[in-house]
Amino acid sequence: MTSSFPERSLTRAPMSQRTLFNTVMTVVAFICGVLALVPLLAVLSYVIIQGFSSLNPSIFFELPPKALQQGGGFGNAILGTLLMVGIAALISIPFGVLAAIYITEFSSAQVARWVRFAANVLSGVPSIIAGVFAYGVVVLTLVKLNLGSYSALGGGFALAILMLPIIVRTTDEALQLVSQDLRQASVGLGATNFQTVTQVVLPAALPAIVTGATLAIARASGETAPLLFTALFSNFWPGSLFEPTASLAVLVYKYAISPFKNWQSLAWAASLILVLMVLITSIIARWATRKKV
């Protein structure tokens, strides 16, 4: 039996209109992809070149120096950043995950729609607004209670506000990706809704939940505006959650605009450390997503 189609229709004509259009669009897409990488590579290369020239082991263990004084470091800013991001994670991750579980597994469609809308709106709120809100809620409250004013607690609370919508949205999407067959099979075996969620759904969605948490932590690590309203800055080691605390982002902001060369050098080194911290969290997120939902 012979084919009714002509033989030439199965060959690719290199000069046909469709082939030329496909080639041009492929080249355009490749150029756009390269152009999208240029700003990232430019920023990373500049930060690495400037940062490595100012990097030395002492910066991790020493306090910021005075103006025009050689040496010193920003160990207190690294510790302060980890402290405030840790506080933010302790606040936002449990609330975000539980909220996502509620709207996905237990709430009505209307409630879930309003919560998702609120999370989307909150994710678009400028970070400085979160700082102003945290200032009014935490800082002024501490002043009234005579417990202090600017503090690591206020900074952690402000960062938690920024992390919360990211965790809610990513966890919600991760839970929706879990097959309904798993839920039905669990219920069919006699498990309750609570057992199904905790022992079947959550373990299946855990990689994506970890990804959302690490991305939220990466964003919070580089925020400056909220910390200017809540944690401020300090040249000393953190001694309490109720006192001003240094952070890498605020240190970069303060020292980069200063006229002193030694402070500018520390700002570049702190920028490199901050970029490496974000890179590490991104690597953790990719490692956690090796197991697909």
Under 8 Å CB-to-CB from 28, ≥6 apart: which residues?
Answer: none
Within 10 Å of residue 2's Cβ, how many Cβ atoms? Answer: 4
Residue in the structure block whose two tokens are 């956690």: 288
Q: Could you tell me the two tokens for 163?
A: 């992390």
Range name among 26-30, 179-183, 231-235, 253-257 with the lowest pLDDT average? 179-183
* pLDDT score recorded for residue 174: 87
* pLDDT score recorded for residue 293: 43
Fold of the 79-248 domain? MetI-like fold (1.10.3720)
Distance CA 165, CA 137 (A): 19
- Range with the largest mean pLDDT of 46-50, 166-170, 260-264: 166-170
Distance CA 178, CA 205 (A): 7
Identify whether the C-beta of residue 285 lies closer than 8 Å to the C-beta of residue 206: no
Confidence of residue 185 (pLDDT cuts 50, 70, 90): confident
Taking residues 42-54, what's their average pLDDT? 84
Radius of gyration of the chain (CA): 25
- Fill in the amino acid letter for 30: F
| 3-state class (DSSP) for residue 99 | helix
Q: Average per-residue pLDDT in the chain?
A: 85
The model's pLDDT over 264-285, given as tens digits with 9 standing for 90+, comes to 888 888 888 888 888 887 787 7
Taking residues 235-252, what's their average pLDDT? 89
Confidence of residue 135 (pLDDT cuts 50, 70, 90): very high
**Cα distances (angstroms) measured from residue 203 to each of 22, 85, 291:** 43, 25, 11
pLDDT over threshold 60, residue 4: no
DSSP state of 247: -
Number of H helices and E strands in the chain, helices first, is 12, 0
- Fill in the amino acid letter for 201: V
Under 8 Å CB-to-CB from 226, ≥6 apart: which residues?
Answer: 127, 128, 130, 131, 134, 155, 158, 159, 161, 162
Within 10 Å of residue 224's Cβ, how many Cβ atoms? Answer: 17
Distance CA 159, CA 142 (A): 18
Distance CA 148, CA 135 (A): 12
- The number of CA neighbours under 13 Å toward the Cβ of 37 is 5
pLDDT over threshold 90, residue 261: no
Distance CA 3, CA 26 (A): 33
pTM (2 decimals)?
0.83
